[in-house]
Chains A and B, each alone.
Chain A
Amino acid sequence: EVQLVESGGGQVQPGGTLRLSCAASGFTFSNYWMYWVRQVPGKGLVWVSHINNDGTSTTYADSVKGRFTISRDNAKNTLYLQMNSLRGEDTAMYYCAREIPDYRGNWFDPWGQGTLVTVSS
C-alpha cells in the first residue's frame, strides 16, 4: 500500500523551530517529487514547498522562503521540512504529498494524514 505518514508537529513559541518528517512506503520514493501543502484550520489548501526526486532542486512559497528548508533522505524514504523563525501565521495542518507527473499535468496522490503545527506563546 502506498502510504505517507507525517510526524513532528506540535506547539511552539513564535520564533521557535520544528522539523516535520514524512515517512514514505509502498513505492520507490526516489522516483518522485514531493510536496508540502498546509491548511489553516477551516481554510483552504496552500502549497508550501517542493523538492525534486534526488533533492538537488527545491522551491518555496514566498511566505516561507528563507525560514523553511525542505530536504529528503532517499535511503530512509523520508521527506523533511525544517521550520525556523516560526510565526503565528504558520499555524496550520501540514500535509506531505507525492506528485504524479504525467504529460496531461501533475497531481497529488496520495497525501499523508497531516501533522498540526501551532505557533503560540
Chain B
Amino acid sequence: DIQMTQSPSSLSASVGARVTITCRASQNIITYLNWYQQKPGKAPNLLIHAASILQNGVPSRFSGSGSGTDFTLTISSLQTEDFATYYCQQSYSTPLTFGQGTRLEIE
C-alpha cells in the first residue's frame, strides 16, 4: 500500500496568514493526489484534484502543487471558515489511501 504522510499534524495560524501543508507519498504517484477539507461534525469536501486543479466553487485562495512524491496545499490568506482538518489522498493505486490529516487552528 502507498503510505501518505502529512506535515505538520497540526498548525496554528492567524486570519490573513499564508499557510502551507505538505503531503509526501511513499512512492511516485505522478499527480494522482487529491485534497479534502473536513470541518468538525461534517463530511470531507473535495478541494483540489489531480494535485493542482481547483474543484468548482472552491475559493481561489486555495492552491495545490507538486508531483512525484511531494505535494503542497497552500492557503494564501486564511479566512475564519478555513479552520478545519485537511487530508491528502492518493489515487495512483488501490487501496486508495489518505494522509493522517493536518488540523488547522486559529492562533
Contacts and interface: CB of A to CB of B under 8 A. Distances in A.
| A is bound by B | yes
Contact of A61 (B36, B46, B91, B95): B95
A113 interface: yes
A104 B44 contact: no
B46 to A, nearest CB: 4
Contact of A104 (B43, B49, B55, B94): B49
A47 B87 CA distance: 13
Contact of B44 (A45, A47, A61): A45
Name the interface size band of chain A: 20 to 34
A107 B92 CA distance: 11
B95 A107 contact: no
Given A61-B95, A95-B43, A111-B43, A104 B31 contact: yes
A109 interface: yes
Name the interface size band of chain B: 20 to 34
Interface string B52-90: 010100000000000000000000000000000001010
B97 interface: yes
A105 B31 contact: yes
Interface of A is mostly: strand
A115 B99 CA distance: 22
B98 A44 contact: yes
Contact of B94 (A59, A107, A113): A59
B92 A47 contact: no
Interface in A82-121: 95, 100, 102, 104-114
Given A45-B44, A107-B89, 18 more contacts: A44-B87, A44-B98, A44-B99, A45-B36, A45-B87, A47-B95, A47-B96, A59-B94, A59-B95, A104-B32, A104-B50, A105-B49, A105-B50, A106-B91, A108-B46, A110-B43, A113-B43, A114-B43
User: When A and B form their complex, which 6 residue pairs have the shortest distance between CB atoms, in order from nearest?
Assistant: A104-B50, A105-B32, A111-B43, A105-B91, A106-B91, A107-B49
